[in-house]
Structure 1
Amino acid sequence: MPHGMLDPYFQKAEDRRIKAIRNEVVWRFTEKKAINNADAIFFTCEEELKLARTTFKGYEPKREINVGYGIQKPPKFREEFSIAFGKRLPNLQNNYWLFLSRIHPKKGVDLLIKAYKESVQENSSIPDLVIAGPLNSSYAKEIQKIAGGHSKIHFPGMLVGEEKWGALYNCETFILPSHQENFGIAVVEAMACGKPVLISKNVNIWREISEIKGGWFFKDLTAASIYNSLKEFTLKPKEQIEAAGANAQTGFQRLFNAEKQSEVLLRELQEL
């Protein structure tokens, strides 16, 4: 089960040229044999399965099976969640958009902030933006500089436990403009909390989310495209946003619930 490591992104990204050469060498001498001699290769979603066919020459597995993937149900909402999150950002307005992930170049957070700042210039009443993730890296500090101390952009740092669930349960939408995401656990956590998602089609579960109408997608990963998507989102009626959130939560139960997906995995293993 490669969990995204056969994604062509890792061979094409400009900042991974040395690692791409290493991967090619390892593929030729060991991994190709491991893949092609296995009884089956399991994938977490349909997009991962399809992308894996495009990365390395000589990729000829005996069987490819999409067994899905899942997470545990989130805890039911409690007011303590909101209180815990509120302590991290006491000045935050009630309505906000949430990015919760590693603050890493792969995540597209720089493009999101640039697009958001432009959006605020045009419409100062849009929800605040919360960028939640560890702040101890040099890249995270660069991102804070791009934000430029903007009063509507907030950096609470890494959120865990009650404060994380408070952030997820109280946001209007979850945003992730990632350049590559094999599954996106935080995306699914937001869906499980009944929140619609606004993501790139580089998040590999976008097909499933599109099927259940649980969110929307950036057309391209540029600041201009993200700006347009944010503008379109602000024009959506509240009822439409809430309906997408309900779809997301229902879709989580059907597609991404760990208990159900473990049954799929077990069944496939038994049939090999």
Structure 2
Amino acid sequence: MRILNMIASADPETGGPIEALRLTGLQMARLGHAVEVVTLDKPSAPYVKEFPFPVHACGRWTRKYGYTPELARWIAANADRFDAAIIHGLWNHAAAGGWSALRRAGLPYVVFTHGMMDPWFRETHPLKHIAKQAFWFAWQGRVLRDAAAVLFTCEEERRRARGVFGGYGYAERIVAFGTADPPAGVENQLAAFHRLLPGLKDKRFLLFLGRFHAKKGCALLIEAFARIAASDPDLDLVMAGPDPSGLKSKLIAQAARAGIADRIHWPGMVAGDAKWGAFRAAEAFVLPSHQENFGIVVAEAMVCATPVLLTDKVNIWREVQMSGGGLVGPDTFEGIENLLRSWLSLSGDDKSVMRARARAGFERHFRIEAAARDLVAILRSISLRGLHEAA
């Protein structure tokens, strides 16, 4: 098949949606399918050239919504080269402008919401939700209404999205999702990570890896770690990730006030070998999020046999709990503190068992091969349907 992906940006610092596209696209390419991407990025952006598939960057005119007339022109000129399309994400011109152009071109499509209909956003930003509901009535709801399917990566995500916005119905589908095995070269990966943080080479640490954003619960983790730090003076914390919202300086100040600044390490965004080295070297991975659609980082930790400590606001928490590869708690200061204390209370043998179960849980629930097969099957069915209707 020839598959077109539409997304606001190919920038890896934007988080989960582009990583999801990259992972599924690589696997679909291995299965023999042709994958291309159209974005709202500036054509000169370095990550456009570095992406593993052809990226057609249309050059946004506005920073937030990303309007550009080039998107519609590009789709009109190229839609007949593709069998089906995938819209990744909501609330931007790649979705709304892409929908309009796809309809005119007659190219069938599906939508990946990537957690962007979670009620957490409505509860946390009620005024912004009112504006989104208006946008939903005008454009965004029609994008989902006209899609062959709206895709969710687990039952929890689908359940939480229902009723958040009113006015248009849509066809729901759950697809498998996950990540791939890391590349070979464990020693090189560990070495790459230790080049970033050489002082941690012989130390135990917990790992947070993700964007610094209010929804990630980073402040909860700093506070919880401060509360347990004295009980295990040999344990450090690594806070790794990009800082698009300027939150990092506040977190560093919080750590200093708590007297644990020397126990927390801030390597910035880690990628490639250094990322895999971080997962492999960590004692456990912690994700204290208030809202998390799927959490690719959870699957990435588990594929490295690294136990995960996460909240019940990460939509795949049930799969993690069922696997025995991690611990789950509420997204409160006390909840994260109890998670950390529960981890520290485990014996060495118990931690080894949890590591083995984390890897087994990945094998059972989160292999990218199953995700790609699921997605290709859906795209093939809508492509055949489009051909049949055209006939």
With structure 2 as the length reference, what TM-score do the two structures score? Answer: 0.64
Which residue among 101, 121, 134 is the counterpart of 2:242?
134
SS at match of 1:154: strand
In the TM superposition, 1:12-91 aligns within 5 A as 12-13=123-124, 16-58=125-167, 60-61=169-170, 63-91=171-199
Which residue among 314, 319, 344 is the counterpart of 1:234?
344
Matched residue pairs, number?
Answer: 267
In the TM superposition, 1:193-208 aligns within 5 A as 193-208=304-319
Residues 178 and 203 in structure 1, CA contact (< 8 A), matched pair in contact too: yes
Relative to structure 1, the CA distance from residue 73 to residue 56 in structure 2 (aligned partners, 3 Å threshold; closer, same or farther) is same
Please state if 1:147 is matched with 2:258: no
Report the residue type matching 2:237 in the other structure: L
Task: Tell me by how many angstroms 1:132 deviates.
Answer: 0.9
Q: Which has the larger displacement, 234-243 or 35-44? A: 35-44
d(CA) in 1 for partners of 2:180, 2:126? 36
Residues 96 and 130 in structure 1, CA contact (< 8 A), matched pair in contact too: yes
Aligned identity (percent) is: 39
With structure 1 as the length reference, what TM-score do the two structures score? Answer: 0.90
d(CA) in 2 for partners of 1:81, 1:266? 32
Which structure has more relative contact order (CA 8 Å, sep 6+)? It is: 1
Which residue of structure 2 lines up, in the alignment, with residue 161 of structure 1?
272
Relative to structure 1, the CA distance from residue 180 to residue 39 in structure 2 (aligned partners, 3 Å threshold; closer, same or farther) is same
Q: Find runs of 4+ consecutive structure 1 residues off by over 6 angstroms.
A: none
Which blocks of at least 5 consecutive residues in structure 2 are unaligned? 1-111, 383-391
Residues 289 and 311 in structure 2, CA contact (< 8 A), matched pair in contact too: yes
Task: Tell me by how many angstroms 1:76 deviates.
Answer: 2.9
Task: Tell me by how many angstroms 1:135 deviates.
Answer: 5.2
Q: Which has the larger displacement, 46-55 or 18-27? A: 18-27
SS at match of 1:151: helix
Task: Tell me by how many angstroms 1:146 deviates.
Answer: 0.8
d(CA) in 2 for partners of 1:8, 1:251? 28
Task: Tell me by how many angstroms 1:55 deviates.
Answer: 0.8
Larger-gyration structure (1/2): 2
Task: Tell me by how many angstroms 1:152 deviates.
Answer: 1.6
Which residue among 324, 327, 331 is the counterpart of 1:216?
327
Please state if 1:265 is matched with 2:375: yes
Task: Tell me by how many angstroms 1:4 deviates.
Answer: 1.1
Q: Tell me the C-alpha RMSD between the 2 structures.
A: 2.0
Residues 212 and 244 in structure 2, CA contact (< 8 A), matched pair in contact too: no
Please state if 1:2 is matched with 2:113: yes
d(CA) in 2 for partners of 1:178, 1:77? 31
Residues 313 and 331 in structure 2, CA contact (< 8 A), matched pair in contact too: no
Task: Tell me by how many angstroms 1:42 deviates.
Answer: 1.5
SS at match of 1:183: coil
Residues 228 and 341 in structure 2, CA contact (< 8 A), matched pair in contact too: yes
Report the residue type matching 2:140 in the other structure: E
d(CA) in 2 for partners of 1:205, 1:143? 26
d(CA) in 2 for partners of 1:102, 1:34? 28
Query: What per-residue deviation string (whole Å, max 9, x for no partner) do you get for residues 62-103 of structure 1?
Result: x32211212222113421222221122122242111001111
Which residue of structure 2 lines up, in the alignment, with residue 102 of structure 1?
211
Which residue among 284, 300, 303 is the counterpart of 1:192?
303
